Structures are given as C-alpha cells and as structure tokens.
Amino acid sequence: MPWPTCDGVLLPPMNTLPSSPASSIDAILTQLNTVILGKSGPIRLALACLLARGHLLVEDLPGVGKTTLAHALARTLGLQFQRIQFTSDLLPADILGVPVFSSERKCFEFHPGPIFSQLVLADEINRATPKSQSALLEAMEEQQVTIEGITRHLPVPFFVIATQNPQEQIGTFPLPESQMDRFLMRLHLGYPDAAAERALLRGQDRRELVETLPTQVDGSALLALQQQVTQIHVSDALLDYLQAIIAHTRQPGIYRMGLSPRAVLALLRAAQAWAMVDHRDHVLPEDIQAVLPPVAGHRLHLRESPGLAPEQVTRRLIEAVPVP
Amino acid sequence: MAPLPRTLENTLPERSHALLWVIAAIGVAMAPHLFNQPLWVVLITALALIWRGGVHLGRLPMPSRWILVLLTVLMTGLVLGRYGTLFGRDAGVALLVLMTGLKLLETRTYRDAMVGVFLGYFVIITNFFYSQEIPVALYMLVAVFATTAALVRLNAGEGVQPARESFGLAGLMLGQAVPVMIILFLLFPRLPGPLWGAPQDSTAGVTGLSDSMSPGAISELLQSDAPAFRVSFVHDPPPPAERYWRGPVFWQFDGSTWRRGRDMGTTAPPLILEPTNLVTHTINLEPHQQRWLLALDVPVSVPPDARMTEDQYLVAGQPVRRLIQYTVDALPDGVLEPELTPERRQQALALPDQAAPRTQAMARKWRDQKDDDDVLIQAVLDHFHQEAFFYTLSPPPMSREPVDQFLFEARAGFCEHYASAFVVLMRAAGIPARVVTGYQGGEYNRLGNYLLVRQSDAHAWAEVWLEGRGWVRVDPTAAVAPERIESGIRTALAGDQAAPDFIRRGPGWGMARLQWALWRDSIDYYWSGWVLAFGPERQEELLERLGLGRLDWRGMVTLMVVLVGTVVLVFTAAFLWRNRPPKADPLAAIYGHFCRRLARVGLIRAPHEPPLDFGRRIARERPDLAEPVLDFIQAYVALRYGPAPDLTQYRQLQGRLRRIKP
C-alpha cells in the first residue's frame, strides 16, 4: 500500500484512461442504485460532486443510508475509505495523525490519522468542537496537512463526505456559514419511497452487499474523469445565464449575502460535472438549474423570511432569472 | 398603525450628509457678495448656514418657529433700513441671500433641501448683476458645479455615494448641458437692451465722457485705466496721429463750462462724399451711462438704433448700460457742413459778454493784424508752442475767469484748457468754432488685432469752420505737446507727479507686464465682443453668416427647439447605445421565433424554463409535435451551447423550425 511514512508524500500510481467516460459513469450509477434504492437523484448529485472535486455535506436523519452511500461510493470507485466519528472529545490529532517516537529508528515517526484516505466520511461533524471541525475543513480546503512544520499531501483523489443531523441541537456546534461554503454541495437523502423501502425490506443486508461490490473505476481513472469535467464546454450563452443568476443574488435587499466568486466557480464546476454525468460534452441551463439547489442552498439566505426552506429559496432564484 | 415608509419625499438622506453639501454649495455661491454687499449680509447668512450645519451634526438645536419668524422680520427690517426698499438690485440680492440662509434653518425634509439647492442657483445668478467679467464667470461655473453636486447627492437616495461619484455625475450632467447652453445662448431671441431693464445702480460709477466740459473734467478721466472701447478695423488702423474718436460736441460756453447747447434733435444733413477713404471699423463700447457712441472722426454711417446728430456724432436710442457693439464707416477727410446757416454761425461765435476779457482783447488784436483765418489760427498755435505753455495734469487752481487765468498767468493745463481757450480765442476773433470731446490715441493689440482705447485717452480738441472747407479739426494740445498726439498720453505725461502710476511710468514700463496686459485685454476683447455684446445685431450677423438668413424670433425659437431636441436625442441615443442589451444572437432570435410560434397554441415557455425542459414538456402535452420540436430543440441546444458550433447549420435549424406546424 502506498502509505506515507517518515517522508510522508504519496504519489498516485499511473494508470490508463477509461476508454469511455460515459460507460464508466453509467456503470458507477447502476451499481450505486442497486445498493441505495430509490435515491437516483441524490446519487447522481453525489457523483457529480465527487467528479467536480468538491466535498459533500449530507444533512439528514440517522439511518437513511448516509454511511451506506459513502461506503458504496468508496467500493465502486476503488477508493480507500476511512470513517471518523465526530464526538465532542475528538481532537485534531485524532483526525490528522501524530508523530510518535520510534525507538528502533531513533526518530519521530508520523502516524497518519484517518484523514490520509481517499474517501473520508466525517460522521456527525457538528458534534465535534469547532477546533476539530476546522482541522478537517482546513485539510479539505488545502489538500494537505502540516504538522510540526512538515507538510504532507493528502492522497489524490480526496473526497470528504460530512454528515450532520440538523435535528440535534443540544451539545452540537453547528458549522458557521463560512465553513459551509467549503462544501461544494449539501444534499438531503430523505426517506425512501414505499417501493424502495419494500425492496430494502426484502433484500439483502446493505452492509454485506456493499462489501461484495466490485470496483468499477480505479483511482487513476477517477482522476481522469475529474480532469475531463473541466473540459466540458461552457458557451457564452451559458455564462450569460450564470452571470444573470449571480447578479440577481447580489442585488441589494433580497439575500443577506450574494454568491461569492468561490460559490460561482463551484456552481459552474458542478454544472459541468452534472453535464458529464448526463453524457453531454457541454453545459446547458438545465444543468445549472439542476445543481443550483444543492450548491447554492446552503449559501443563500433570504433577507426577509429567513425560515424559508433552502429548496424554496433556490426555486425562487431559478424562477426569478429568465433563461436567455 | 404601521409607520409610514421612509421615502425620499419626506426625509433627508442623513448618512450621506447631503445637507452639508447643500450648505457648502450655497456658501460658495454667495461668497462673492462679500464684495458687493455690506459685510453683515454675508456674515449673518454664513452664521445661519453654520447653525444648520451644527444641527445636522447634532451639536445645536433646530431654531423654533418663533425665532424664525422673529429673524425673518428682523432681516427684512435690516434690509429696509439699509436700502430703504426691498426691491432693486442691492436690496433684492441682500434679501435673497439672507432668506436663503433662513430657509435652510427651517429645512427638515428633502423637499426643503431641494428648495435650498434652487435658491443656491438663484444666488449664483445674482452675482452677474455686479460683474460679468471672465473671472466671475469662471467662479460661477465652479459654484454651479458645486451646487449640482449637492443636487446629485441629495437625490442619491439612502445609499452613501462616494464623493467622487457625486462630483463625477454632476460634471457629466454639466458637460451634457454645454451644447444646450451654447444653442440657447446663440439662438434665444434677444431683446435690444437688457431683458429686465438693468437696475439704475447696476453700473453706477462707470466713468466716461460727460455731457459738459469744465476744467478738470477730462483730467479726471485720466485717473482710470479702464477700457473705454475697443476697435477693430477691416483694413489697417489709421496712424496714431489720426486716431481721433469723436464724441459729443460743445457749443455753449458760460465762462468756465462748455455745454452741448440746444440739441435740435435733427439729423445731420447728409454729406456729399466721395467714398474713397471710407474706414470701416467695429467698436465694442463699454457701458458709460450716456447715449453717445464713439466713432473715428468723422463717422458717416449710422448703426441701427442710433442717429447722427447735426454735429456729426452718433447718439444711441438709449443710454449705453451694457457693452454694445456696432460698425461704423468713417471718412477722415470728409467736409463737414460746407454751408453754415446764419443761425448756427451765430451760435458758433457766441461768447458771454463778460467772459475772459483779456483773452477777447488779445484775439481782437490778432484779428486786426491778420486777415487770413489760416494765418490767424497758425499764429495762435505758434503762440501756444513758442511761449512757455506746459501740458500738465496739475495746473494751478484757476477759480475766476479760468480762460484768462490759464492764458496769461498759469500757462499750464490739460487738453480741455487748451481746447477751451482756443475756441474762445477763435470766437472772439470771429471764426466759428466749437469744442469736440472724445478720445485720442489707442493702443494697438497685435494679438487681438484691435485698438484698445482707455478712459485715460480721453481728449478734447477744437473745430473751426472755414469757408469752403467746413469744420476743420484743430488740436491746440498738439502745439503744446505734440508727443501727446503722436505717442499717446503715457509719453506726454511720463514723470508728471499728478498722473496716476500707470501713466507716469511711461511706455517702457515692464515689457512682460505689457505682454500679459495685451493677452488679458485680447481675451477680454473677445469675451466682451462675443459674449457680453452678443445682442440682436450680433445674433443676426451670426445667423446670416451661417447661411440662415434673417430669422425672426419665431424662426429662432423653432431652430432652437429643433437643435435642443437634437442634442437631447443624441444623448438619449448614446445612453441607450451604451446600455443596449447584448447583441441579439441569431440563434436567440430563431429560438424566440420558435417560442412565439408555440405560444400561439398556448404552449408558453416560462421565462426561466430551459430549452430541453421546455421541449420535454411540449412532448408530453402535445405528443403530435414531439418529434419536430425535440428535433429542433436538440439542434438548437447543440448550436447555442455546444462546443465549436457549426454556424452553417443555422439554415438547417430554420428548416427544422418550419417543420413545426402547431
């Protein structure tokens, strides 16, 4: 296993590009849909998020399949998987790792934390202290960890799925808005519908099923897919539409804050990934509209009626901006 | 009840300090009145402005209504006490300035502040009642700019605009107003004379030739460096010795003062001329409160709205209260009044019986010796030249019988002494004579190609009537001080202690300064010629030169409206062009066509509905249209959003559109 030790740098193994991105994507989606039933929409979004090199925040009740989704993604994409259960006594070192003195080699040997993994599930992130939260978020942002003056790169691809339970209030530390901005998307899984639930009840245990999943794409093929996302064509007409949306969010008096340039880039990247998942080599206004709720939902807040559901907020935004 | 929304109409934008801008603008606008008005007018207004500024900053309370009423009554009283009236230029301006200050003291709302801004514009205008010179005009431009910036800021709403933006917008607005200003200036129908009948006191103190001549009258004018008029010639200007500018002619003498005598109100008999040496010249005459129009000796044509007197000088229809411009032809060697009627001959010989007995006696003695008029005149001039006569601004006092005293005792005097004594001598000797006043000389301005004649060039000379030659100019001053005529007053009086500085220092004084003076005067010349003197005549001339012929006021108003309308249209077009919607994509146009075609059958695209979704919806609602519609939409989407669209497929897209027949 290419695991960092004293020198601490991991290089991805070289591999060939997948022959056809469309077929690999289809294979991935088909496999994921067999594990998580009735959730094809969120699954597509989650995959788009990953392909856009963004991180995902899943906000939902326990037991709707967040962990299963993360696990299934890791298996299908051939990613190393680590899960960090966030608790109030979690320390940054528990996430990042610690240098330990090795009596054999007479030096401090770095014991990497669970963050040194290609897919990290940060479970119930809002239960940890802000200090631990920011340790994770900084690592997410910078794709590297600096401990005792030594910078160690995180593996590539690197994908974090954080979950939080919005219902829990006591003893939690809700993520501040500035930290929310680091997640490309925020998704809700929600309860499965009746048919899906019945299939779930009839079927195999999901965890066991996940263990048996074959890898559809390996790490380097995934990197190639991520690279291809940036090549998805963006026309001037589409940029006009995107900028009209941004301009609308920045009008005074509607939102507490308009979309930041980082959010705009995120929106475009997500739309590109969405177009790719949809087998297209160019972005359409439909793609923007599809990714707008998960990308902008946690970034926009109406000045009036702050209690409105995020879906409603983004719905209104879409309806307010005409498509050219 | 819910509170009313705070709107622009009932509140002042507090955070942008727009009111302080208004206060500052009014301060700028009224500052020049420090020179025009009693100090207290400006001081009290400034205090009111400062008070209101203090209120705005929360340092001072707003004055109560009673205090305001009291102040208003008090200020009105002060103005009445100072001027005895509330009307007229000075009292009116004082009242306006004071009330502007008081108005701000009761300014609470946006509307009040707007009134303050407009009062500021009025205060700016009033400055032109006092002076219309270039520096004042420039300062007023700054004041207009400041006031406009305050207006912009006041209307900027709740948001706080950076100061630079307020000034920038004000500058832009004024810049756009410039063409309109020029059109209005050139075409607004002019009335002959000032529009409102310039208040009597508006130009008081401006000097010029008066309508009588007593000893000291002209030397008084010498104290003034101010321009009297400027002349430009079609051809070369005449040599210095020929630069006699004819003004009023005096006949009646009472022993010390010359007066014009009975004005018959008749026009001069037309001269029989051979128009060979006509000198056409254009004069910009500074206001002098009298009616005469100066012209090169002797004028033979009459500008509009003026008449020629029988003494061959020009008189305007009304006193010259503003700078006017006119063009005159002069005939330097014309024959004036070849026949003298007995009545006029008698007037031209009249002398008071008791006046100047010694002079009269001397004249008779000369007459007895010399029969020929020319010889006699030459003898008198030789007398002035050879005896110890002095040309000076400070003759000794001559109280009783000034002519006798001058000729026999003082022997020192200024041009009016010589002219007066000479005419008395001539009349006593039986030669008809009269005094002519006007100006002599003039400084040639190379830069502007014109002659500048100053008040200090005022002069008096004599005319004698000779058989067959009419009135002939004789300048006794030339006999005493030929340099006065040849080189001007500066040379003649250089070193004379009584002369003002600018004369005494002589012609060589400060070349650089002279150069600068030339520049300044040429600018003044064009300013006065083209701006201040832009009256009906100039306007007519300009329109004719533009090939518009003679327009009456209706034509001018029409032209003005058309031109201003054009300017507004041009600016509107420029504005719309700069804010035009992005260039319509041919693809967007064809998609719009597609949408309209479907809208006719009730398939209306929501503005935010993206194309594929729209196509799918149509396919669901009208399965019969699904095939051509989806075909079109897919082609359209590929062209509009796809990579490297092949625009040759545009025609095919049109073909696909034609296939859709809902």
Å between B607 CA and nearest CA of chain A: 5
Q: Looking at this protein, which amino acid is placed at residue B322? A: R
Partners of B582 on chain A (C-beta within 8 Å) are: 240
Q: Which two tokens stand for residue B639?
A: 């062209």
Non-local (6+) Cβ contacts of B126 within 8 A are B33, B92, B93, B96, B97
pLDDT of residue B51: 93
Mean pLDDT of B77-93: 88
Place of tokens 């917008």: B169
| Residues constituting chain B | 662
pLDDT grade, residue B1 (50/70/90)? very low
Mean pLDDT of B541-546: 80
Please, what is the end-to-end C-alpha distance for chain B in angstroms? Answer: 55
Mean pLDDT of chain A: 83
Q: What is the DSSP letter of B238?
A: P
Q: Looking at this protein, which amino acid is placed at residue A142? A: E
Partners of A283 on chain B (C-beta within 8 Å) are: 641
**For residue A157, cis peptide bond before it (omega within 30 degrees of 0):** yes
Q: Considering B130, B156, B182, which residue would you say is the last residue of a domain?
A: B156
Q: Cβ of B4 under 8 Å from any chain A Cβ? A: no
pLDDT grade, residue B8 (50/70/90)? very low
CATH fold group of domain A232-320:
Helicase, Ruva Protein; domain 3 (1.10.8)
pLDDT of residue B198: 44
What tens digit of pLDDT does each residue of A162-172 get?
Answer: 988 877 677 78
Q: How far apart are CA B493 and CA B479, in angstroms?
A: 15
pLDDT grade, residue B273 (50/70/90)? low
Residue B229: CB atoms within 10 Å: 28
Q: Is 60 exceeded by the pLDDT of residue B416?
A: yes
Q: Complex ipTM, two decimals?
A: 0.82
Å between B156 CA and nearest CA of chain A: 15
* 3-state secondary structure (DSSP) of residue B648: coil
Query: For chain A, where do the domains classified as CATH 1.10.8.80 start and end?
Result: 232-320
Strands B324-330 and B390-391, sheet pairing: unpaired
pLDDT of residue B514: 64
Q: Which of B311, B329, B373, B475 is catalytic?
A: B475
Mean pLDDT of chain B: 82
Q: Which two tokens stand for residue B11?
A: 């509140």
Q: Alpha helix locations (H) across B159-216?
A: 163-187
Partners of B610 on chain A (C-beta within 8 Å) are: 284-286, 289, 323
Higher pLDDT, B116 or B217: B116
- Residue B54 placed within a domain: yes
Query: For chain A, where do the domains classified as CATH 3.40.50.300 start and end?
Result: 21-223
Q: Which of A237, A289, A318 sits opposite B585 (nearest CB)?
A: A237
- A112, β-bridge pairs: A97
Q: Which two tokens stand for residue B9?
A: 């109409």
- Residue B639 placed within a domain: yes
Contact A238 B641 (CB under 8 A): yes
- Residue B136 placed within a domain: yes
Among chain B residues, CA nearest to A245: B608
Contact B642 A240 (CB under 8 A): no
pLDDT grade, residue A138 (50/70/90)? confident
In which domain, by residue range, is B650 found? Answer: 586-658
Q: Cβ of B160 under 8 Å from any chain A Cβ? A: no
Mean pLDDT of B510-527: 73
Q: Which two tokens stand for residue A134?
A: 């920011």
Non-local (6+) Cβ contacts of B546 within 8 A are none
Among chain A residues, CA nearest to B638: A282
pLDDT grade, residue A11 (50/70/90)? very low
- Residue B119 placed within a domain: yes
Whether B595 is a known active-site residue: answer no
What tens digit of pLDDT does each residue of A231-259 get?
Answer: 888 988 899 999 999 999 988 778 888 88
Structural domain total, chain B: 2
Q: Is 70 exceeded by the pLDDT of residue B584?
A: no
* 3-state secondary structure (DSSP) of residue A211: helix
- Residue B94 placed within a domain: yes
- Percentage of residues in chain B having pLDDT higher than 90: 19
When mean pLDDT is compared across B67-76, B153-162, B360-369, B630-639, the lowest value belongs to B153-162
Whether B459 is a known active-site residue: answer yes
Contact assessment for residue B252 and residue B261, using Cβ atoms and an 8 Å cutoff: yes
Give the H or E element holding residue A186: strand A185-187
Which CATH number, 3.30.70.1400, 3.40.50.300, 1.10.10.10, 3.40.50.2300, labels domain A21-223?
3.40.50.300
Higher pLDDT, B525 or B624: B624
When mean pLDDT is compared across B106-110, B409-413, B604-608, B609-613, the lowest value belongs to B409-413
Q: Which two tokens stand for residue B387?
A: 């005896």
Half-sphere exposure for B46 (CA within 13 Å, toward CB)? 13
Q: Considering B156, B179, B195, which residue would you say is the last residue of a domain?
A: B156
- Residue B637 placed within a domain: yes
Contact assessment for residue B238 and residue B485, using Cβ atoms and an 8 Å cutoff: no
Q: Which of A282, A318, A321 sits opposite B643 (nearest CB)?
A: A282
Whether B385 is a known active-site residue: answer no
Q: What is the DSSP string of B322-378?
A: S-EEEEEEE-TTPPB-SS--HHHHHHTT---TTS-HHHHHHHHHHHHH---HHHHHH
pLDDT of residue B276: 67
Q: Considering B98, B130, B156, which residue would you say is the last residue of a domain?
A: B156
- Residue B572 placed within a domain: no
Q: Cβ of B156 under 8 Å from any chain A Cβ? A: no
pLDDT of residue A14: 28
